[in-house]
Amino acid sequence: MLFNPPVIALIMVSVVVTLMLLAAAGLAVQILMYWDIGSGSERQLILERRTYLVSTLLTWVFASELISLMLFIYNAESMSGQFVGAMCATGVLNVNAWGWPALFLKLIIFFSGAVWLAINHLDNQGFDFPLVKVKYLLLLIILPLVMVEAFVQLQYFLGLKPNLITSCCGSLFSSEAEGVVGNVSSLLPSTALLLFYGAGLLMMLSGTWFLWRKSGGWVFSSLSVGAFIASLAGMISYVALYVYEHPHHHCPFCVLKPGHDYAGYALYLPLFAATALALATGAVSRWKHVPSLSAVVESNAPRLAWLSMMLYALFFSVATFFVLRSSLVMAPFW
């Protein structure tokens, strides 16, 4: 399995990203110890020149993590025919104990990277770089996650054996399954509908308040995380059923298949991008009190919130479209 091109690409991306972050960590430590924007020393000038270079490199690093996340899911889906019992990415992730942790770590790194990029962009627009220590401290927090993710992903790929029998999505995403997934899959249509659209409505209302009053950015970000979780739960317990036109098929990965018009891409891409932008909104808006950033925050934070809300609206519109066009009818809704 290690000789699959997507697997090789994913391993190489993890290695390169880890090495680049390790190199950047050295600069981060120096900045936390010696950065003084008021100093004209040679060391300060060197740090300022290096931070420009490292910031550019880290932009590409976190962009690579986004591509890595998408490729990881695509690869899991494309390999489903190589394992007995696997019907989609769920079965491939179930081949060994490392699959799901690798996916969750990639998600955490993706959203952490989005926050870092937002803070970095904001800091670069301040004449005194007021957030330089904040963003490099955050970098040192992200680095262990990236290293663990690289290790977990490698263990996952090393454990992919074609002769292994895995479980399909029907056994994991079912009302009879134990744990959180089973509870989500067994939600009543009315409860799932309320959770799905209710969380989205609260998030949109908080975003509208933020755009109107220019306050409450952290509330909008927090509710966006809740909306993201509720949306994934709604995908499993509600939307997926209408896409498959089957009342007992809850898998959130089969929607990526061509037999379902690649519906998953139209749903997940705006959802993930909207959540990342909402988190960026909260990260940017909290620095409005910094004099050199006040004007920038006033213009950037509402723009991020607006884009996030538009993408959330797109996600819910697409989800509603798939529900309304479906031939499935489940009482008491559609």
Question: Which residue among 166, 182, 213 closes a domain?
Answer: 166
Structure tokens at 224: 């966006």
Check if the beta carbon of residue 34 is closer than 8 Å to that of residue 43.
yes
Widest CA span of the chain, in angstroms?
Answer: 72
- 105 and 176 share one domain: no
Would you state the pLDDT for residue 319?
94
- Please list the helix, strand and coil fractions of the chain in percent, rounded to the nearest 5, in that order: 75, 0, 25
- 53 and 133 share one domain: yes
Rg (CA), the chain: 22
- 107 and 231 share one domain: no
Measuring CA to CA, which residue among 24, 142, 7, 159 is closest to residue 68? 7
- 152 and 5 share one domain: yes
Question: Which residue among 166, 197, 221 closes a domain?
Answer: 166
- 207 and 329 share one domain: yes
Question: Which residue among 146, 166, 186 closes a domain?
Answer: 166
- 26 and 54 share one domain: yes
Would you state the pLDDT for residue 6?
83
Q: What is the DSSP letter of 235?
A: I
- 138 and 96 share one domain: yes
Would you state the pLDDT for residue 98?
92
- 195 and 303 share one domain: yes
Dump the DSSP string for 79-143: TGGGSBT-SSHHHHHTSSTTHHHHHHHHHHHHHHHHHHHHHHHHHHTSTT-TTHHHHHHHHHHHH
- The letter for the amino acid at 108 is I
Measuring CA to CA, which residue among 87, 112, 90 is closest to residue 99? 90
Higher pLDDT, 332 or 164: 164
- 33 and 20 share one domain: yes
Per-residue pLDDT tens for 73-97? 988 888 877 777 777 888 888 888 9
- 92 and 157 share one domain: yes
Domains in the chain: how many in total? 2
Enclosing domain of residue 82: 1-166
Per-residue pLDDT tens for 114-131? 999 999 999 988 888 899
Check if the beta carbon of residue 1 is closer than 8 Å to that of residue 162.
yes
Would you state the pLDDT for residue 77?
84
pTM of the full structure: 0.90
Q: How confident is the model at residue 43 (pLDDT cuts 50, 70, 90)?
A: confident
